[in-house]
Amino acid sequence: MKEKQKNLYVGHSVRFTKKELRTKWALVVLAVLIAAISSVSIWNAAGLQAAVDRRTRMYVSDVSLQLTDDINYRLEHIITDLEMLEDSLLRIDESNNRDAVKEFLNRKASILGFTSIVAVDLEGNHYCTSPIQGELLSMFGVKKSMKGEKGVSFLNKQSILYTIPIVQDDRVVGVLGGVRNKENMQMLIQPKSFSGQGLTCITNQEGKVIVSPTDLDPFMELDSLFAKEEDDGKLSQDIQQMQKDMLDNKSGILFFTAVDKTDLVLAYNPLDSYGWILLTLVPANIISYETDQYIFQTFCILTGIIVLFVMMLFVIAGMYRSYYRRLEKIAFVDRLTGEANNAAFQLRCQQMLKQLPPNSCTVVLLNVKNFKLINENFGSAQGDNTLRHIMKVLQQNIREGELAARADADNFFLCLEENDPEVIQNRLSDMVESINSFGSEQDPSYLLTVQQGAYTVDNPDLEITIIQDRAKSACRNRAAQQDGVCIFYDAAFTQQMQKEHDLNELFDAALTNGEFQVYLQPKVWIEGGRLAGAEALIRWNNPQRGMIYPSDFVPVFEKNGKICKLDLFVFEQVCRSLHQWIESGKKPFPISVNLSRQHFSDKDFLLKFKAIADRYEIPAGLLELELTESIFLEDQGIEFVKHKIDEMHHFGFGCSLDDFGAGYSSLGLLMEFDVDAIKLDRRFFLNVSSPKTRDVVKSIVDLAKKIGALIVAEGIETQEQLEFLKDVGCKLVQGYLYAKPMPIPDFERDWLNKNAK
């Protein structure tokens, strides 16, 4: 049951799959949108990053070049100092005042910031203002200066000896040198930019560190980087390029990541002297640090916004879904049974039919016969319970994928995945049986008759309302109706309906064009064969279709109430004839007019008849109204009919019970109603030789005599039937034996005039 209940909604979701698909598409679009936003952001950030990298490269390059110039200048300055010293020295030396030279050098050493000043002649005789470790003449720089060039020698890892040749008369006569200590050199390379975050050192072209800052570690890492043998992609290429550039005295910049994962920028710039190279090491984020922060923040904000946006969408979607479900419930659930209503059935059925080939589904309408009686007799609460019970049984008896719904009132629709009438009939009979085998909790003392109409859907493209209508018209097909039997809609149905439609269309014009004619059929006294009266019977003489008989159109017009109009027409024609007869001094005979049960839906219908009769001044006793037994099944009930019969008498109309014995005849009815005549149906006389017929007819005739009603035997065609009627004491007959129904002029000529006396 739960499963089925679920089905109701799942079913809609099939219909709303388009909607769900739309939701899915919306999600896909959303995902694409988010992906696009993210991609654009990443692309933008990457662009920003590249721009920042370019800026960093330019910045580092500019600053390190400046630094290089600065160091060049300082180194140049050292040499200039030494050259000025050389000049002074030569002049003092000329005066051969050795003490003055020493004193001069000692003084200049402290002024010029040298830890020691050295003067060496070609023989190796030398003077140092402070002692110097090592053999001077074997020092690389000293040797170079002896050859007339400037030179540099490393005394230990702590100090450097800068030397220039002492030239006299274009001859190198010795070497003058000045020693700068470590601190002094470190001051030389202390970077003045990079907010104290940069490091510099001086190396030779092979990368050997000559002057280093206090903290050598970052540069030590360089050694391991340079030593890297394995090919490390771009980095190793860059390093190779750097080594080559250093040998070629070119500047350049290298980006790399340190062991501690910090990104670094290394700028290398050749100095003007000694083949030295200035290395400047700066963190790569020196410029991008803040930008990175912003980029990160922007990312966080963007992610936050996207998350919020998605959450909002989900909340809205959730709200929409629950709202939608509520609407769905209101729209598609039958409030009485809590199950599918007609709208749900129509939607689901259409989907089901589309998914299956033609002729694989049958739509069934089940209608509870005389359901009104249940409400009337047991109360509407019990009526509601019954409807719920039926729905429950139907739900239990349909299979997965099939449908059951209450359309309205006591009408239930099924859509079964069946096409074999026998199987369908069996399944429906089982359902009806289950409906009637009430559980212990529900024990009403009535059995339900369920009328069934079915249409096996051969054209699934038909509108669902047409499909339902076909099942409905099958169910309402009175001609075929048999309790407990399912009537199947077929092509004959359509023809019949078309025919009915055509007749209805023609009705109004036919009435005004005088196509309807009143025929009269005489009622005759058996004794003497004289005219006793006549019955008015309608005929439709259509120019195209010829004569149409009441059996073809009366049931059609009974369905829509047109019959009432027709009965009044007949009644008026009859009144007109009676009036003429009276006016022309002819003896009038009573004429009976058939009265459809449809009149009884208007409680004052007799007033219309009375008005016509009065208009034609018809005396009482000349008009008789024939009621069929079915009138007693009228909704308004027996009391209402009794009352109407009394009213007929009051207005001066006779009343006869037509077709007695054709349907639900009950002798009890005769006692109940104060009718003037009983018209025995012709079926009684089909087998007049049977003693049983004789007994039945005899007892009806006797009973009629007792209640003071005349018996009219209808449809008498043979002499034998006439003899039989005489035998059982029946006085009046109507039948072809005497006359067929005939146009009024014929009746006047052949019957009225002859019986005038």
The CB-of-697 to ligand C2E minimum distance in angstroms stands at 16
Per the listing, tokens 């662009």 go with 47
Element at 683 (helix H, strand E): none
Choose between 567 and 572: whose C-beta lies nearer to ligand C2E: 567
> What contacts 77, CB < 8 A, 6 or more positions away?
none
Part of the chain binding Mg ion (CB under 5 A), chosen from 207-215, 237-245, 306-314, 593-601: 593-601
Sign of CA dihedral 746, 750, 755, 757: positive
Query: Does residue 200 interact with ligand C2E by CB under 6 A?
Result: no
Query: Does residue 658 interact with Mg ion by CB under 5 A?
Result: yes
The one among 671, 672, 736, 749 contacting ligand C2E by CB under 6 A: 736
Query: Does residue 567 interact with Mg ion by CB under 5 A?
Result: no
Q: Choose from ligand C2E, Mg ion, none: what does 362 bind? Cβ within 5-8 Å by kind.
A: none
Part of the chain binding Mg ion (CB under 5 A), chosen from 280-288, 343-351, 657-665, 704-712: 657-665
Choose between 195 and 551: whose C-beta lies nearer to ligand C2E: 551
Query: Does residue 622 interact with ligand C2E by CB under 6 A?
Result: no
CA-to-CA separations, 368 to 336, 432, 483, 527, in angstroms, rounded: 16, 10, 11, 50
Q: What is the total residue count of the chain?
A: 757
Q: Could you tell me the two tokens for 145?
A: 């200066």
Total residues at the site for ligand C2E (CB under 6 A)? 24
- What is the Cα–Cα distance from 755 to 532, expressed in whole angstroms? 9
- What is the Cα–Cα distance from 389 to 383, expressed in whole angstroms? 10
SS3 175: strand
Choose between 532 and 570: whose C-beta lies nearer to ligand C2E: 570
Choose between 93 and 714: whose C-beta lies nearer to ligand C2E: 714
Total residues at the site for Mg ion (CB under 5 A)? 5
Choose between 390 and 537: whose C-beta lies nearer to Mg ion: 537
Are residues 404 and 412 in contact, defined by beta-carbon separation less than 8 angstroms? yes
Query: Does residue 521 interact with Mg ion by CB under 5 A?
Result: no
Query: Does residue 456 interact with ligand C2E by CB under 6 A?
Result: no
Query: Does residue 339 interact with Mg ion by CB under 5 A?
Result: no
- What is the Cα–Cα distance from 110 to 121, expressed in whole angstroms? 22
Q: Is 37 exposed, middle or buried (0-12, 13-18, 19+ CB in 10 A)?
A: middle
Part of the chain binding ligand C2E (CB under 6 A), chosen from 3-11, 71-79, 640-648, 713-721: 713-721
Part of the chain binding ligand C2E (CB under 6 A), chosen from 49-57, 382-390, 423-431, 709-717: 709-717
Query: Does residue 676 interact with Mg ion by CB under 5 A?
Result: no
SS3 419: coil
Are residues 410 and 368 in contact, defined by beta-carbon separation less than 8 angstroms? yes
Query: Does residue 346 interact with ligand C2E by CB under 6 A?
Result: no
Part of the chain binding Mg ion (CB under 5 A), chosen from 76-84, 190-198, 356-364, 711-719: 711-719
Sign of CA dihedral 525, 735, 683, 496: negative
Query: Does residue 596 interact with Mg ion by CB under 5 A?
Result: no
Q: Choose from ligand C2E, Mg ion, none: what does 717 bind? Cβ within 5-8 Å by kind.
A: ligand C2E
The CB-of-556 to ligand C2E minimum distance in angstroms stands at 12
Choose between 86 and 681: whose C-beta lies nearer to ligand C2E: 681
- What is the Cα–Cα distance from 540 to 705, expressed in whole angstroms? 37
The one among 350, 735, 748, 752 contacting ligand C2E by CB under 6 A: 735
Query: Does residue 596 interact with ligand C2E by CB under 6 A?
Result: yes
Are residues 679 and 656 in contact, defined by beta-carbon separation less than 8 angstroms? yes
Part of the chain binding Mg ion (CB under 5 A), chosen from 300-308, 366-374, 454-462, 710-718: 710-718
- CA 697: distance to chain centroid? 70
The CB-of-332 to Mg ion minimum distance in angstroms stands at 50
- What is the Cα–Cα distance from 572 to 606, expressed in whole angstroms? 13
Query: Does residue 629 interact with Mg ion by CB under 5 A?
Result: no
Q: How many CA atoms lie within 13 A of 290 on its CB side?
A: 1
Q: Choose from Mg ion, ligand C2E, none: what does 337 bind? Cβ within 5-8 Å by kind.
A: none
Q: Choose from ligand C2E, Mg ion, none: what does 735 bind? Cβ within 5-8 Å by kind.
A: ligand C2E
The one among 410, 659, 676, 748 contacting Mg ion by CB under 5 A: 659
Choose between 354 and 530: whose C-beta lies nearer to ligand C2E: 530
- What is the Cα–Cα distance from 575 to 616, expressed in whole angstroms? 6
Query: Does residue 538 interact with ligand C2E by CB under 6 A?
Result: yes
Query: Does residue 626 interact with Mg ion by CB under 5 A?
Result: yes
Choose between 316 and 547: whose C-beta lies nearer to ligand C2E: 547
- What is the Cα–Cα distance from 238 to 253, expressed in whole angstroms? 9
Element at 623 (helix H, strand E): strand 623-628
Choose between 435 and 556: whose C-beta lies nearer to ligand C2E: 556
Choose between 334 and 629: whose C-beta lies nearer to Mg ion: 629
Choose between 477 and 596: whose C-beta lies nearer to ligand C2E: 596
**Residues forming a β-bridge with 453:** 365, 487
The one among 594, 610, 645, 733 contacting ligand C2E by CB under 6 A: 594
Query: Does residue 661 interact with ligand C2E by CB under 6 A?
Result: no
Choose between 284 and 627: whose C-beta lies nearer to Mg ion: 627
Picking from 717, 711, 705, 745, the residue whose alpha carbon sits closest to that of residue 731 is 711
Choose between 406 and 562: whose C-beta lies nearer to ligand C2E: 562
Element at 368 (helix H, strand E): strand 362-368
The CB-of-445 to ligand C2E minimum distance in angstroms stands at 36
Q: Could you tell me the two tokens for 66?
A: 């400046």
Question: Interface mask (CB under 6 A) for ligand C2E, residues 546-575, using x and -?
Answer: ---xxx--x--------x---x--x-----
Query: Does residue 238 interact with ligand C2E by CB under 6 A?
Result: no
Query: Does residue 521 interact with ligand C2E by CB under 6 A?
Result: yes
- What is the Cα–Cα distance from 211 to 153, expressed in whole angstroms? 12
Q: What angle do CA 240, 245, 250 make, to 5 degrees?
A: 160
CA-to-CA separations, 582 to 573, 574, 623, 652, in angstroms, rounded: 14, 12, 13, 17
Task: Label each residue of 299-363 as H, E or C.
Answer: HHHHHHHHHHHHHHHHHHHHHHHHHHHHHHHHHHECCCCCCECHHHHHHHHHHHHHHCCCCCCEE
Query: Does residue 659 interact with ligand C2E by CB under 6 A?
Result: yes
The CB-of-15 to ligand C2E minimum distance in angstroms stands at 48
The CB-of-537 to ligand C2E minimum distance in angstroms stands at 4
- What is the Cα–Cα distance from 117 to 84, expressed in whole angstroms? 13
- What is the Cα–Cα distance from 269 to 191, expressed in whole angstroms? 14
**Residues forming a β-bridge with 548:** 540
Part of the chain binding Mg ion (CB under 5 A), chosen from 314-322, 422-430, 570-578, 709-717: 709-717
The one among 64, 285, 521, 594 contacting Mg ion by CB under 5 A: 594
> What contacts 150, CB < 8 A, 6 or more positions away?
79, 144, 162, 163, 164, 165, 273
> What contacts 696, CB < 8 A, 6 or more positions away?
684
Choose between 457 and 563: whose C-beta lies nearer to ligand C2E: 563
The CB-of-535 to Mg ion minimum distance in angstroms stands at 5
Footprint (CB under 6 A) of ligand C2E, residues 42-81: none
- CA 228: distance to chain centroid? 64
Site residues (CB under 5 A) for Mg ion?
594, 626, 658-659, 714
Site residues (CB under 6 A) for ligand C2E?
521, 537-538, 549-551, 554, 563, 567, 570, 594, 596, 626, 658-659, 682, 714-717, 734-736, 741
